[in-house]
Amino acid sequence: MSCGNTKDFRPKLPPWIRVKVKSGPEREEVDNLMKLNNLNTVCRGAQCPNICDCWHRRTAAFMILGAHCTRCCKFCAVGVTETPEKVDPEEPVRLAETAAKMNLGFVVVTSVTRDDLPDGGSAHFAATIRALKERIPGVKVEVLVPDFNMDVNAIRTVIEAEPEVYNHNVETVERLTPLIRSKAQYRRSLEVLKTAFEMTNGRIPVKSGIMVGMGETDEEVMQTIRDIRETGATFLTVGQYLPPSAEHWKLERYVTPETFKAWEDFAKSIGFTHVAAGPLVRSSYYADELAKERV
């Protein structure tokens, strides 16, 4: 199912964007583990440009609750369906076993959005967190969750499982949100972040991320950074949007490393404690390094 609205595709990559490609058996080993245990990753599902680097380091961002989303965001390569697969109750255990085989000490868990489920899949997130902590003593878990349609009980369910980082991405600036994010609302995403922060009184770091190059202005980016910070969030990622195909949202610009650095400095100046900003930064890319000191 196509979610795009344009036939334009990305122009030639600028010299400062160079995807790391490493040799060795690690990527194939990780790929085989995922297939063997019937697991999905956002690395492959979202066509992440860092897949070679991350899988070579034997890290991956697990994607639970199936391979198909109930929303059709115009920037995303993940498949869409109106009739998603049934939730697999054994998935949390298989995921935890796979993470143990990968010798992971920090695990990122995200999901497709499941508007068809009464709790949005929050109980499955909680079960996955608990399975990881039972299987791998001392493991740290970062969850990247959907908005759960701002269901406070769903947010609480995930937080009570005690992840080390609670992440929900705003994705883009307020003006572009209704054009790009299917069924999502900018202010609702901010409310999700604020609710998570207030539920834990800052005990669990709250994180968010945005993509740039989608038609926003520099000032809109800075305002979005301010809005995210006002929720209590202290972790932030800012990365370059790269359209997965010609059918996805049109790329408007490549942002320079100097501009990313300026945004990083600005974010830190208003209170963000951990910021990753750069052309190849993604929400889960080197998430363990970003969170290391805090968690």
CB 92 within 8 A of CB 130: yes
Q: b or e along 59-97 (b: 16 or more beta carbons within 10 Å of the residue's beta carbon)?
A: bbbbbbbbbbbbbbbbbbbbebeeebeebeeebbbbbbb
Q: Is 277 part of a structural domain of the chain?
A: yes
295 residues of the chain, pLDDT tens digit each: 445 444 446 667 888 887 655 555 565 676 677 776 778 865 444 444 544 455 444 556 899 999 899 999 999 888 899 899 999 999 999 999 999 998 888 899 999 999 999 999 999 999 999 999 999 999 999 999 999 999 999 999 999 999 999 999 999 999 999 999 999 999 999 999 999 999 999 899 999 999 999 999 999 999 999 999 999 999 999 999 999 888 899 999 999 999 999 999 999 999 999 999 999 888 765 556 655 655 5
Number of domains in the chain: 1
Q: Is 278 part of a structural domain of the chain?
A: yes
**Three-state SS at 280:** coil
Q: Is 17 part of a structural domain of the chain?
A: no
Q: Is 209 part of a structural domain of the chain?
A: yes
Instruction: Give this prediction's pTM.
Output: 0.87
Rounded to whole angstroms, the Cα distance separating 255 from 258 reads 8
Q: Is 180 part of a structural domain of the chain?
A: yes
Residue 211 maps to which CATH number? Answer: 3.20.20.70
**Domain that residue 90 falls in:** 26-291
What token pair was written down for 174? 């307020």
Q: Is 132 part of a structural domain of the chain?
A: yes
Q: Is 13 part of a structural domain of the chain?
A: no
Q: Which of 218, 122, 214, 204 is nearest to 171 (CA)?
A: 214
